[in-house]
Chain A
Amino acid sequence: MSKFNSRQTRSPALTALVITIVSACLLVGATGFAGPPGKFERTYTPQGSAHLTIANVNGLIRVAAWEKKTVCVRADAAPSVLIEDRAVGDDIAISVKRNFRLGRADFEVSLPAESSLSLRNVIGNIEVQGITGHISVNSIDSDIRLLRVNSSSIDVKVTSGDIYFDGELREGGSYSFQSMKGDLDVTLPGSTPFNLNARALSENINLGGFLSSLTGASRGTKGVSGSYLKGGSRLTLTTYDGRILLHKK
């Protein structure tokens, strides 16, 4: 009789335990194997000036120059995100594998100032500080910030998002900033000569302190072009639904 009773009390407890374990498994599966986020960390040692390419999908990309000769890339990524890297000579390519799920990966990069960058993203802000090499940024839905940048060639394109630039232009350099929906906010030293071609479908162009000194200018409601201090580098600013704002440092 006692054995029969103990079997009766054990079965419900066992059933409850099984149900709890199965529910926990289902819950973990439903949340995409949510667990501690993945970490990606690599250090590369280029022989010459590095060329770094990062192709992200969803998340931040922050790049800052440092004094060391190495390139250090760190990422905090969701467990479902797969990050691949490839280094051939001085070319370093890091990419987030695209799949149907939009896992997040935030990148922090430190590298020598003379490195060149090619940054791609779909959703997520991008920030670059202190770089003097070529910069190419190509994104869909991002705010872009370029600070203390002194490069001879910059090309930034976003579909939606603001672009903020505070840096220097080099003689003979080429600088292009474009946003379909967003503001272009550019701050330059007053002593920087450049040739400007600014186009805004929204007809919202404010050249600030540069306007009065623009020579050979052609001005319409949607576009302004001209030379500042006899020209030098080529600055092209294009926005459709946004403002173009130039500030003198």
Chain B
Amino acid sequence: MVCRQDQELISDYIDGSLELGEQAQIERHLADCESCRAVRDDLLQIVHFSHQLPQHAPSGAVWSRIEADVMEERGSWFRTVSWWAWLRTRHFNLSLPQMAATAAAVIIAVSAVVLVSRQDAAQNNAGVIAPRASGIEATPLSNPDFQQLEKQINRLSETVEQRKVEWDPELRSAFERNLLYVDQCLAECRHQLNNNPADDVSQELMLNAYREKVRLLEGFERF
């Protein structure tokens, strides 16, 4: 399963709305793919924080404002369609040098946009996969302890995923529930470290949380 397909399903996976077969496929892929795991962790974090948000009921004026915005958009869309129709029926008379210059300008503009968007994507991925390096402390995932624990977790996860299908539903539910708690804790630790890479307490808690994940997986590996 390629990452793009998986990432589209991760949200459903977290919501528990996937079929068992799809769920197993996602979990197998997550055991191997760091970037998808990072996406999963971010989504878990969003879910966690959203549960903590206070609930607000929108006022009656909100719909009126939305309706007004929609009407304004519709007006501008019709204006855009008219402009496009005018453009299609327009005739341009350009000499060869003028056409070459126009083509060169278009190529340069497109290349610039592609280069800028690639740089943004690379920066975003670095932020998702690992916390930003402060220059003072090494990033947690570059720490050999973390790397060792990640390897252990991947190995144990693979074994547990294979055995999980035969478990009693209550046992499977207990495992998934507690794994989710640990992953939420890890996501929260990463979030704290993203905000403050020099946060010693969060670093310590994150290392401890990794160890807890190993303990959890070892506990269930023997079933």
Residues in A lying within 8 Å of B, measured CB to CB: 58, 98-102, 122-123, 138, 140-141, 157, 159-160, 178, 180-181, 199, 201, 220, 222-223, 238, 240-241
Contact = CB atoms under 8 A, between A and B. Distances in A.
Contacts of B182: 159, 180
Contact of B168 (A101, A160, A199, A201): A101
Interface stretch (B63-71, B100-108, B215-223): B215-223
B43 to A, nearest CB: 17
Main SS at interface, chain B:
helix
Contacts, number: 76
A199 B166 contact: no
A101 B167 CA distance: 7
A140 B185 contact: no
Contact of A180 (B168, B170, B201, B212): B212
Contact of B216 (A102, A140, A241): A140
A240 B171 CA distance: 23
B200 to A, nearest CB: 9
A160 B185 contact: no
A160 B182 CA distance: 9
Contacts of A122: 171, 174, 219-220
A201 B167 contact: no
B192 A201 contact: yes
Contact of B170 (A102, A138, A201, A223): A102
Interface residues of B, number: 29
Given A160-B181, A201-B185, A102 B201 contact: no
Given A201-B205, A238-B208, A159 B181 contact: yes
A117 B204 CA distance: 28
A201 B188 contact: yes
B98 to A, nearest CB: 64
B209 A180 contact: yes
B216 A222 contact: no
B168 A102 contact: yes
A102 B175 CA distance: 12
Contacts of B201: 199, 220, 222-223
Given A141-B177, A178-B212, A180-B181, 6 more contacts: A157-B212, A159-B178, A160-B181, A180-B212, A220-B201, A222-B201
